[in-house]
Structure 1
C-alpha cells in the first residue's frame, strides 16, 4: 500500500485548493450491485465482494466516481454545481506485482453548464497534479466514445451490435473480434448457448430476464463471471439476434477499421480525421467539430509543451463514461498514472435507482484519479 508522506499530502491539498475542490470522506463498503451494474466488466471481475449481515453482497470500493455521485445525490439536487476532492484507498485485484489495496487521489466536477472549457480544466488539473507529485511532465492520450458512436450511427450499425461495440470501446482486441463476428453473421453462433438464445428469440426483455433468473436460481447462482442477471439476459438476446443475421456489409466494416486506426499528435490526428470524414461523405458530422473545439480548449489549458496525442480506438473501460476520456502516462511507460473522462449519464442513472429527487436525463460531469503508488515509484526513478 502506498505510504502517503506529509509532503505528498501537503502537495495534494494545494492541488485540491487550486481546483476549488472540497475534500470529502467516503465509506469503504457499498452494495456490490452498484458496481456490477455500472462500472464495466474490466473492473467488475476484479471486485472484492463478500455477503453482508442481511445477505446482500457488499463490495470494497474499487474507485471513487460512483461513491462521489452518491454523496452528491444525498446532499442536494443532482443538477447543482460542485467540485469534490477524494483521497484514500481503493480496492481491486490487480496484477501480481501490484497490491489489491492502493491509494488514489482525484477530482470530480459536476456543472450543468459544463462544456469544452470544463473538460480542459479537468485535464489541466490532472497534468498539474501528476507533475507536482512526480517531478515529471506526463503525456496525455485523448479518446472519444462519442465520435465512435457517431460513426456507428451514421453507418446504420444493428442496434444490438452498436451497444456491444460501444461497450468494448477501449479494448482493440475485443473490438476486432466483434467486428469479425459481425462480418460472419450467424455462422459462428452454435452450441447450447446459441440454441437457448434461439428459444428466447422474440421474447420480451423482461421475460428473458425472468427466464435467466430462474435458470441461475436452479443452479444456485446469483451471477456468472461478474456479470449481473441483466447482462446475461442481454447476451442471450444478442446471440439470438446474431444467429438470425446474415453477415454485415463488408464495406461498412472496413470503414470502421480504418477509423479505429487513426492516431497521432493532435494536429496530425485532426488532419487524418478530416480527410477520413471527407472521403466517407461526412459520417462524423458535428461530433468531429466538437472534438476539434475540445482539443483547442485542452491545448490552451495545459502547460505549454505538454505532449498531447489522440487515438481513435482509445477508451477507458468504464461503462458509465459517456464520451470524451483521457489518460496520462510517462514517455516510454505503458501503465497510466492518471485517467479520467466525462460521465454525464451517471447521476441520472443513480438518482433513478434511488428514486431520489427530480428525474434528470444528463448532468455534465467529469473526473480523474491519480494512481499514487505509480507516481511514488516514478518520483524515485526521477
Structure 2
C-alpha cells in the first residue's frame, strides 16, 4: 500500500474456529472512513466469489456474524449453480447514503486487490454497478477481481436481472411440485421487499398470470412497483402479507425472515411454499424442519437466488447474457432435483440441497488432492 492510501488490515489465516472459514480479513481506512470485512469460506472449487454488502450494522460483531453466514451460503450457492468458484462475501460497515464516496470505494478496491484474486466481488445490498466500476479501478492491469460492472467497462451490469429470473424458475418448480404444472397462473404470491430483485420478480410473476401482493419498508420502492405494475396489491407490513391469503411467500429483503413464529403463521394462513430472493432466510437451524412438518415446501434460498452470481461469474469469461440466462434457467431443474431427493430420502429440501452441494465440493476436492499428490 502507498503512504497516500494507508489501509490497515487484520487477518486470520487458516480455519476460523466458529465457522471453518479459510480466511477472514478486516480493513480500516481512516482517511476515507472505510471499515470492511472480507470472509472467504472456501476456495475448494476456485476463487471465492460473492457480493459486497454496504449496511449500517449496529456493531462490528453484527457485521462479522453476517459476513460469516453470507460467505458460507455463497460456497453452497456457487456449488449448486455449477460454478468453478468457492464462497466469499464482504461487508462495508456504515450507512451508504452518508459514507459512500469515490475515495471510500477505491480504498475498498485496494482492500479487495490485497487478496490477490482469492476473492472476487460484486454488488449486493447497498452497492451498485457504478460502485463496482470504481472498485475495479484499483485492480492491477489485466486482472478482473470485480464483477457486476457496467457494460461500458466490459461488465454484466445489474445482476438482479438474473437473480429475479432464477427465483422465478425456482417458483415454477414449486408450482409443479405442488399443483402439477410449472406455472404461477392463478396463484397469489406475496413478495416482502421490492427492491432490485423483488420488483423484477413481480413483473415476471404478473407476466405468468399470477396475482401479486407486495410490501416494503420503503414507500419509494412500493411506489415504483405500483407505477410499473398498477395491478399489484399493496399491504403495509410483512405481517399483513402473511395473513392476506397467499399461496407462496417470497422473502426478498434481508435475511432471517423465516423464524419459528413466521413458520407458524405461514402454516395457519395456508401458505403452500416459500421461495424468495433474500439470502440466509432461515433464522436458525431447525426452521426448515418446522416448515417441512407443516407441509410447507421450502425452496432453499441459495439455490433459487443464484441467478445473480451466475450472471456476474459469466462476466469473467467475456460476458454473454444469453449464455448466462441459459445457465440460470437450469435453476428450475436443480430445484426439481432437490425436491425429488428430499422426498426420496425423507428430509427437508434444505438438507437435500446441502447434501448435493457438499457432494460436489468433496468430489472436486478429492480430484485436486489426487492431482496435487
User: Please, what TM-score do these two structures have when normalized by structure 1?
Assistant: 0.26
Q: Which has the larger radius of gyration?
A: 1
User: Please, what TM-score do these two structures have when normalized by structure 2?
Assistant: 0.26
Q: Which has the higher contact order (CA 8 A, sep 6+)?
A: 1
